[in-house]
Homo-oligomer: A and B are copies of this chain.
Amino acid sequence: MGDTKTFIEARRTQLLEELSEFLKIPSVSTATHHKDDVRRAADFLVHKLQPLGFQTQVFETARHPVVYAERSLSDSVPTVLIYGHYDVQPPEPLELWTTPPFEPTVRDGKLHARGASDDKGQVYAHIKGVEALLEQFGTLPLNVKFLIEGEEEIGSPNLGPFIEAHRDLLAADIVLISDGAMAAPETPTITYGLKGLAYVEVHVRGAAMDLHSGAFGGGAPNPINGLAKMIAALHDDVGRVAVPGFYDTVLDITPEERVVFKRAPFDERALAEELGVSTLPGEAGYTVLERLWARPTLDCNGIGGGFQGEGSKTVIASEAMAKISCRLVPNQTPQDITQKLGDYLRAIVPEGLTVEVIELHGGDGALTPLTSPAVQAAGRALAEVYGKETVFARTGGTIPVASSFQKQLGADVVFVGLGLESDRAHSPNEKFDLMNYYRGIEVSAALLEAFAIEV
């Protein structure tokens, strides 16, 4: 990696200036008045990728364009598709930023700007990683494709259909995603699995109108009490989800994974302290990290009904509502779990009440086998760059597009977070450590070389 290091050392100022130029573009995808800025960010990428010998295309979608770039060597070498996004979260509240969100500023070795870590900094590190290899070898050791979208921060509404419609174009052996954090600072981390999601809204209804709890208490069915009883019945006494069939298709944690999880830098006591809780409860028989990373869970995300104002109101509400979501693991599907959850809720509704279950949204989880060549190659490459053992992780988060890559392209998906949890993604004063930016370039080059040799 000496040569990539040299490439970086010789260009520190230029690398910072180029990323800063990217970050100055307020490509806020949710804000319609930034529509042109979003396109400028797409164009910026095209202008950076073309000089590196990439064939580029900007695909229109119903909202913001997809940037696609390809530099092919031959059919006999592996193909890696690097995915990222060039859109950013809204910067508000502006008054909490020390320096303006779209005026990138270095303080204490950290580059502050909206999108610095999520995801422009990580995307740009890969572009510069490719450039480092080209400068050293004049060519790349494998076929490289970039797929950089402008709608990630609004839920990637058009990317799933885009992938399905362009399976041949996007065909790849490995999909490399850098849009997140390493397990801890200076800790090489490969994330090989994420959870899916099934999210429903539940309405429980009793009488046709709100009732006086004195006049009707003891006779009227109470939707709040009923909903509470139903929610309570969603877990058993040892923290397992009690929805019949919920665990039927769950892929068990392998013995190898249990070993890997134990090696992860995770401290239960530290997490409990950080959250300000006495304990981290959950499903019996699993460690906290196993539950966070690899066991399906069910959480109420919201509840409401009756009188929530100041003071007291003696009412029996006619309706109560809850938002309930399940985080899924392979091979659970949102369709199946939503069906089972709905069937169960309809079966247990207390007498006198009715229930309506509304499907809000879902997404599949994704898992690349720990033992896959891509994961193993990536792990070794990272260990070499950092000079320490790579952490193999899963996460409870959901990136719906990940399963599209697996299903539509048949690719192994590898997540390499170049940022930190403390980067304040989505918050004021978002930042990206310059050390992690430069390291990310090194990581990118090392990953491409490793994939070329070992996959």
Contacts and interface: CB of A to CB of B under 8 A. Distances in A.
Interface in A279-333: 279-283, 288, 291-292, 295, 297-317, 320-323, 325, 327
A110 B311 CA distance: 30
Contact of A301 (B312, B351, B421): B312
B299 A217 contact: yes
B212 A397 contact: yes
A306 B225 CA distance: 18
A221 interface: yes
Contacts of A277: 206-207, 220-221, 352-353
A426 to B, nearest CB: 5
A397 B424 CA distance: 47
Nearest to A201: B312
A236 B226 CA distance: 12
A397 B214 contact: yes
Given A210-B427, A225-B299, 15 more contacts: A30-B312, A199-B312, A215-B395, A218-B282, A218-B292, A220-B277, A231-B232, A232-B232, A301-B313, A302-B307, A302-B315, A312-B323, A314-B325, A314-B398, A315-B426
A209 interface: yes
24 contacts: A89-B313, A90-B313, A92-B309, A195-B214, A209-B428, A214-B327, A215-B395, A215-B397, A215-B425, A216-B275, A217-B298, A224-B299, A224-B301, A228-B231, A277-B353, A281-B352, A299-B316, A302-B305, A303-B308, A306-B323, A311-B360, A313-B323, A313-B426, A315-B427
A227 interface: yes
Given A213-B301, A313-B30, A278 B220 contact: no
Contact of A212 (B212, B225, B351, B425): B425
B215 A279 contact: no
B325 A312 contact: yes
Nearest to A300: B224
A360 B426 CA distance: 33
- Quickly give the copy total for this chain: 2
A207 B320 contact: no
A154 interface: yes
A221 B303 CA distance: 16
A172 to B, nearest CB: 25
A217 B292 contact: yes
Interface string A148-186: 000000110000000000000000000000000100000
A62 interface: no
A276 interface: yes
A323 B218 CA distance: 17
B428 A218 contact: no
A91 to B, nearest CB: 11
